[in-house]
Structure 1
């Protein structure tokens, strides 16, 4: 009831603001609670920021500490943010939180989404009883960008939108993983900040957020056992946990184990990491681009399949075997139990074209690409 009242108030204010003329030189980036301009919106903004004739606005659900030159920044609950959404020609979003707002006839609503490929089910695919809700919610989208032709049907179903709106333009935030010079700059910057890690072999553990993690999260990876077996071999362990997880009970020593859950640029962590451990997270898609080892620590796979479900057969889909225990994870690392060619094939299936030019394709599609810039 309260949520519906709030939405009604914001829709009413939005309609009032539409009495103002649409600004064809205004671009609004819309973020929910996830990436804070470190993902797709950030990649697009960095390509556009030198376009002096445009004004750039970031509207977030809650205002974060994002600071970029030439970027004005508002909370959604600041009426100035709502005004800019109502008067901008271009709306570029990374998730669908603000889709309840109407869209002006000549506005362009571009949905870049925050996950690559197609893995665990989402949207209408897990809420079959809410078809009308998803149709109504997503009708404001003009373009939904995906990373491969192979997943167009999946996103058409999940969003319940016209298939012609789903376009294989790519994932802007993934472009950096194709560019060796940019990756070298990331590594140099990171290891200047953390010089003690420069000659270490970095393992990153990035598990999926589970619904029951909010109340009583218990890390299932045995950090002490990892340390006992792997520290002497030159490894360190990074933890990258979901922001909704309370991590008070997780102990890291900042010698072998480190908590990088709040580190802003997850792409930096992927670039400096040598091995990724995950389970059902879409982070595996971007990491696979770099043809580096991925281990799947999927201790609750049967339960997860039952509760959430996947678009593919999980056992056949992942480019490695399943590890069910910390001991199996350790053995896989020691024995180098992975097939890099299989990982590359996986990457090329879900990123096609496999070229690192997604940002350019998105901007060309919406008419904002200028070659000389």
Structure 2
């Protein structure tokens, strides 16, 4: 077999934001590895490498891309879209978030790299989303051909249905944070404003101050978006780095976030959350939303004092089980613990 012939047993996992296989692709990676596929990993945080290494990375990737049967990505990966792909090679976009919230892709000015003139989603053969509600939004925002966006559920969500995994993560959490036992764990997991190159986060220090004033039985864990590491290094030290945000969800009693899609992952647990959005009016103007967040089953705080009142009065309990069920069904309805199976069935038909 010539090297340039497409090998259907050859699979590439690629990402430009992480040095390891991202969480959003791990379940698919594990499955295909078990099934004996020849897997190559091209995952590198591009913000941490120089020009020469970047060129070497792309050159090596493109050589394997030309012979691979399948390429899996979970965010924009420009090398995939920057050439005329061979028809036999299939590109599957697993995407890294579920639900509908902030605008993305070509619907907003900050999501697509300004210096890239091509179509960032060219060459995609399959795009997986979390519910039927997402399909038309993805098609428009990412300029996708009709029919390639499928509500298969997200591969990243299957693990949340694994009882053994949930038990292990709870045990691991309390082994690291034994003082949290008997308290309500509150996870503050904010997103960022701007773009990945120059991210900001309004509210980090304010949330910490709120919890310093609370006497209630809460235990706060702060997990900012990874893009904020350089801007806010003090929040990426010590025990906070031991577990990922996803690892903490099984033990979380209340989630606080702003515009992060983590709330959709968390909704699979049907537990309460709070939206802390001190910059919401500016965010509406600069980024915008696909949905009205005031209709979410969650209280909204725009100031530290409002957040403190919600936590003291526990108004996050004002929503019913049906409210959470309806919310989850609308935005995460295809994520039922078998998304990897669903995706692979679609891949077989490509």
Q: 1:37 to 1:75 in 2, by over 3 A?
A: farther
Residue 82 (structure 1) aligned with residue 65 (structure 2): no
2:245 to 242, 252, 266: 266
User: In 2, Cα distance between the equivalents of 1:311 and 1:361?
Assistant: 26
The answer (yes or no) to whether the contact 1:118–1:151 under 8 Å persists in 2 is yes
Structure 2 equivalent of residue 162 of structure 1? 145
Ranges in structure 1 where 5+ consecutive residues have no aligned partner:
1-17, 65-73, 369-373
SS in 2 for 1:137: coil
2:75 to 72, 95, 98: 95
The answer (yes or no) to whether the contact 2:161–2:336 under 8 Å persists in 1 is yes
Q: Deviations over 1:142-174 (max 9, x none)?
A: 001111111110000011111201111110111
Q: 1:171 to 1:119 in 2, by over 3 A?
A: same
SS in 2 for 1:77: helix
Structure 2 equivalent of residue 146 of structure 1? 129
User: In 1, Cα distance between the equivalents of 2:153 and 2:269?
Assistant: 16
The answer (yes or no) to whether the contact 2:20–2:44 under 8 Å persists in 1 is no
Structure 1 equivalent of residue 102 of structure 2? 120
Structure 1 equivalent of residue 331 of structure 2? 350
Structure 1 equivalent of residue 310 of structure 2? 332
Work out which structure has the larger RCO, using CA pairs closer than 8 Å and 6 or more positions apart in sequence. 2
Ranges in structure 2 where 5+ consecutive residues have no aligned partner:
48-52
Q: 1:41 to 1:212 in 2, by over 3 A?
A: closer
Q: 1:251 to 1:169 in 2, by over 3 A?
A: closer
Structure 2 equivalent of residue 108 of structure 1? 90
Structure 1 equivalent of residue 50 of structure 2? none
TM-score, reference length from structure 2: 0.84
The answer (yes or no) to whether the contact 1:125–1:158 under 8 Å persists in 2 is yes
Structure 2 equivalent of residue 226 of structure 1? 211
Q: How does 1:131-280 map to 2 (within 5 A)?
A: 136-211=119-194, 214=198, 219-230=204-215, 233-245=216-228, 246-248=230-232, 250=234, 260=240, 262-263=241-242, 265-280=244-259
TM-score, reference length from structure 1: 0.79
The answer (yes or no) to whether the contact 2:169–2:250 under 8 Å persists in 1 is yes
Backbone CA RMSD of aligned residues:
3.1
The answer (yes or no) to whether the contact 1:135–1:161 under 8 Å persists in 2 is no
Q: 1:335 to 1:223 in 2, by over 3 A?
A: same
Structure 1 equivalent of residue 6 of structure 2? 22
SS in 2 for 1:164: coil
Residue 361 (structure 1) aligned with residue 339 (structure 2): no
Q: 1:63 to 1:97 in 2, by over 3 A?
A: closer
Q: 1:149 to 1:227 in 2, by over 3 A?
A: same
Q: Deviations over 1:188-240 (max 9, x none)?
A: 2333344343443211111120128947766352423312314xx33221111
Residue 310 (structure 1) aligned with residue 289 (structure 2): yes
Q: 1:362 to 1:224 in 2, by over 3 A?
A: same
